[in-house]
Amino acid sequence: MYKPRNIIIGVIAFLALIFFPVWSSLFTTGEAVGAEISLDTPMINAMENPKCVEDTEWMRANHMKLLADWKVEVVRNGNRIYVAEDGQKYLASLQNTCFECHSNYDEFCLKCHEYNNVSPTCWTCHVEPTVVEEGNK
């Protein structure tokens, strides 16, 4: 015979496991970042429902892997289209995709990288967005 109590405990444990990403993120809001990063860019401000290519938590942990994958896809396989988890398609491009939204490199990428002591060596070849000064155009 099954004991109903054990079944209930089993169901609760199962649900806790399934929803782990949800409740674990509730307790870690912003903590992992540390640095004050800004999302204040024309492109992001214009979005009705601002979101990244993938889920924010995932991006925080995996954006470097995503970029490395994009590079391999583009350079080795000639594939420039990335299909996100939600089915949305993006051009696999640092310049035309990441920096289109995150055009405030200094206040976003750089700020967090300095805080975490990382310095990606991409900018000898790729162009990082810089603020165009008035009268300098």
Residues lying near ligand HEC in the complex (CB under 6 A): 33, 37, 39, 44, 50-53, 56, 59-60, 63-64, 66-67, 70-71, 74-75, 92-95, 97-98, 100-102, 108-109, 112-113, 116, 118, 120-122, 124-126
Cβ proximity to ligand HEC: between 16 and 127 the closer is 127
Q: With respect to ligand HEC, which residue has the nearer C-beta, 12 or 64? A: 64
Between CA 98 and CA 47 the distance in angstroms is 15
Task: Decide whether 5 or 89 has the Cβ nearer to ligand HEC.
Answer: 89
At its nearest, how many Å lie between ligand HEC and the CB of residue 9? 34
| CA pair distance 63, 61, nearest whole angstrom | 6
Contacts of 79 (CB under 8 A, 6+ apart): 73, 92
CB of 130 to ligand HEC, least distance (A): 14
Q: Closest distance between ligand HEC and the C-beta of residue 90, in Å? A: 6
Q: Which is nearer to ligand HEC, 10 or 50 (CB)?
A: 50
Provide the b/e sequence for 97-136 (b: ≥16 CB within 10 Å): bbbbbbbbbebbbbbbeeeeeeeeeeeeeeeebeeeeeee
Nearer to ligand HEC, 2 or 23 (CB): 23
Taking the complex as a whole, the smallest distance from the CB of residue 123 to ligand HEC amounts, in Å, to 8
In sequence order, what are the residues at sequence separation of 6 or more whose Cβ sits closer than 8 angstroms to the Cβ of residue 54? 62, 66, 84, 85
- Compute the C-alpha angle 135/136/137, nearest 5°: 95
